[in-house]
Structure 1
Amino acid sequence: MSFLLQAGESAQLPHTPAGQVMFVFKCERGSVCAFWEPGTGRNCVALLDFEDLSDAAATAPEGTPVLLELWARRWREHDDGVDASLEPAFFDARHDAMPEGIAYPHDFDFALQTKVGGLPYWTANGTVAFRYSGGTVLTEGGDWHLVLQLDTALKVVDPIGAVQAYADSHPVGPAREGAAEVYPEDGSVEIANFCLDGIGYVLVDGSAQSPEPVFLINR
């Protein structure tokens, strides 16, 4: 398991309680756990109250490699043009019958694949991985919403040469195993292994008595 994301300090995340910070962890190796599935004990989301947070970063044990850290400085507003009343259909088989322009309003634009709130921008496989993750139909009786989603790579605003130098100074394991890949051609940095070309989704069932977000990878 590795630490993937911390969010919620500067602004409340959609569909989550106020005054809490979200931490997302993911499985890294298919030989150890089914890293595309939620609820396996390896992909998990934890919500903590602000007062439970420390003022300093956790100290890593000596010799533990540190992954490249990226900060989201700001978010751009974007209207996908899809009526909000269609949101429930984005979490069940009705999504398959939608016109492509509605089912995939992002048109697979790399710049739109990482987002907070709104409708989930599914991969070409649609809702299949969501509906049948872990051998269960997650949508059954649920009122699901997207909290956020992450693409495999993010475009950075810092000079890409400086980012490359920083990444090279933080190798992970022998031969930089697990180190972040930097892509100078488009100014982006790989942030996680989501089955090579997948997207990670944090979702929550609003109908649950105590809604707890889940983390799912979809290709």
Structure 2
Amino acid sequence: MLDVAVIEDTAAAEASLNPMRARMLAELVDPQSATTLAGKLQLPRQKVNYHLRELERFGLVELAEERRKGNMTERVMRATAASYVISPTALAAVQPDPARSPDRLSARWLLAVAARLVRDVGELITGATRANKTLATFALDGELRFASAADRAAFAEELTAGVAGLVAKYHSEAAPRGRDFRFIVAVHPSTKPARQNTSAPEPAPQPEED
């Protein structure tokens, strides 16, 4: 089972977004038979089998094992991944394009860049899996707290200068055997609840002046 799988097919995306099938995918992180799954979901086994066949058709579930029970063979199914991401490729006609309005200070442009990241990495994973090759990637993920909007702006300027320096140092336009890599640097407000400070109450937040 994969940790994460990328859904690129429109019909597969539609199948995964069905609320009942999405719940089945969550349950099938652990292999189960249709009978067991029907009991948990309180659905007729025939209906569960129908949904399982559809999920299997799109490669979202797979056969884990077969068990003989008297004159019958019970199929035990499992999800092909612990979680799924739907690629913008599944919505090809309306997928976001960062080139339409490149504004590095726009949250919507950031979202378009992130969508392209999902699309590109999804395609790379698919290709690498078919070729039985590893995929060279690297990512950083962290969190920091700015004391003021001025500090945030200063951080953005220093980060831009630092990245530009690294690009100038390592980019080799004429390398005959070089390979192009895309890099993305993003900063956005955290959606996590604010940390609790038990020593003293925090002052009420003041409006920022940008």
TM-score, normalised on structure 1?
0.19
Relative contact order higher in (CA < 8 Å, ≥ 6 apart)? 1
Structure whose residues are more often helix by fraction: 2
TM-score normalised over the length of structure 2: 0.19
